[in-house]
Homo-oligomer: A and B are copies of this chain.
Amino acid sequence: MSEFAMIERFFRPLSRHTEVVQRGIGDDCAVLSVPAGEELLISVDTLVEGVHFPANYPPAQLARRALAVCASDLAASGAQPRAFTLALCLPELNAPWLEQFSAALAADAAAYDMVLVGGDTTRGPLCITLQVMGTAPRGTALLRSGAQPGDRIFVSGTVGDARAALDFLSVVQASASQQYCLERYHSPQPRLALGMALRGIASAALDISDGLAADLGHILTASGVGARLEVDRLPVSAALRQLYPEGSARVDGMPVAWRYALSGGDDYELCFTAAPEQRNSIEALAQSLSIAITEVGEIVADSGLRCVDSNGAAVSPAAGYQHF
């Protein structure tokens, strides 16, 4: 099978004409038409075998996770997903592998309403780079830099589940709680609807990939503010509480579940800030989208992140994931 035959068979079916996509796969460039009054939002993510996923990772899972991780940046920016490119580096042309990979990619791209518009396939170590592109009305993109003292800090869903999954990636007969966390790790759900709904409501936002404490730090730096985070208020799933009961082991002075919630990455929930008067709008959003949204702290003028427990005692925020 040639590279061209591979593209025709596995990837061209993911390309189609839309309002935004004037030309997809098959020319030197793809051609996008951004609707009048909108801006284009772009993000890139690379997943490398042996670094971001283990050898022999199921191709369907790889496709889903890669697209979700990348689309999560669109969610964090409030963008409507539109298109993506795929740079795929493969040790060999393996038709069954490509069949599963492209079928899963097609399914989730359709679910997110994204069209594959181009890419590159090369021979080399297994590695996948996706660039996702979305649109938002001019000036409405959610940024990291808008947090103001007095704003409250919110987190969607629950955090720490994906970190817990790392503790039992190789368990053969996983319990229901373990399975829940593994699913959260392998198949993150980008909060796309929430991100778009937060335009005009959130003052700053990002997605939690490296851990809440580390990622919130980016908002603080970009906004030139500090924060007070109440770790006991962090949204922790029933599965995580069941796996790491509060009275059992502690890490750095915190129950494991809350430590994971504070510092574990890979959940791809949104962390955002908003003025207190937006609380009702946020509650309404949580209801209409059936997403838990939890207030976990407050933005303050003094720089730095202060984590405190319910007694007001300081808790050390562990460092986030180090990429090198």
Q: Is the CB of B124 within 8 A of A85?
A: no
For chain A residues 1-55, which have a beta carbon within 8 Å of chain B? 1-3, 6, 22-23, 26-34, 36, 39-52
Q: Is the CB of A29 within 8 A of B87?
A: no
Q: Is the CB of B28 within 8 A of A124?
A: no
Given contacts A30-B41, A32-B40, A129-B129, contact A122 B23 (CB under 8 A): no
A239: chain B residues within 8 A (beta carbon): none
Q: Is the CB of B323 within 8 A of A3?
A: yes
A79 part of interface (Cβ distance < 8 Å):
yes
Q: Is the CB of B123 within 8 A of A28?
A: no
Q: Is the CB of A222 within 8 A of B27?
A: yes
Given contacts A52-B122, A120-B129, A129-B120, contact A43 B26 (CB under 8 A): no
Q: Is the CB of A48 within 8 A of B122?
A: yes
A13 to chain B, nearest CB (A): 18
With both beta carbons as reference points, the residue of chain B lying nearest to A45 in the complex is identified as B120
Q: Is the CB of B27 within 8 A of A85?
A: no
With both beta carbons as reference points, the residue of chain B lying nearest to A77 in the complex is identified as B29
Given contacts A28-B43, A42-B32, A85-B131, contact A324 B76 (CB under 8 A): no
Q: Is the CB of A39 within 8 A of B32?
A: yes
Number of chain A interface residues as a range: 35 or more
A230 part of interface (Cβ distance < 8 Å):
no
A82 to chain B, nearest CB (A): 11
CA distance A120 to B118 in the complex (A): 18
Q: Is the CB of B127 within 8 A of A29?
A: no
A3: chain B residues within 8 A (beta carbon): 322-324
A301 part of interface (Cβ distance < 8 Å):
no
A74 part of interface (Cβ distance < 8 Å):
yes
The proximity string for A residues 40-81 relative to B, scoring 1 for CB distances below 8 Å and 0 otherwise, is 111111111111100000000000000000000110110100
Q: Is the CB of A2 within 8 A of B324?
A: yes
The proximity string for A residues 240-254 relative to B, scoring 1 for CB distances below 8 Å and 0 otherwise, is 000000000000000
A143 part of interface (Cβ distance < 8 Å):
yes
A229 part of interface (Cβ distance < 8 Å):
no
Q: Given known contacts A44-B120, A48-B123, what 9 new A-B pairs fall within 8 Å (CB)?
A: A27-B77, A29-B74, A33-B40, A44-B86, A46-B87, A47-B122, A48-B89, A49-B124, A87-B129
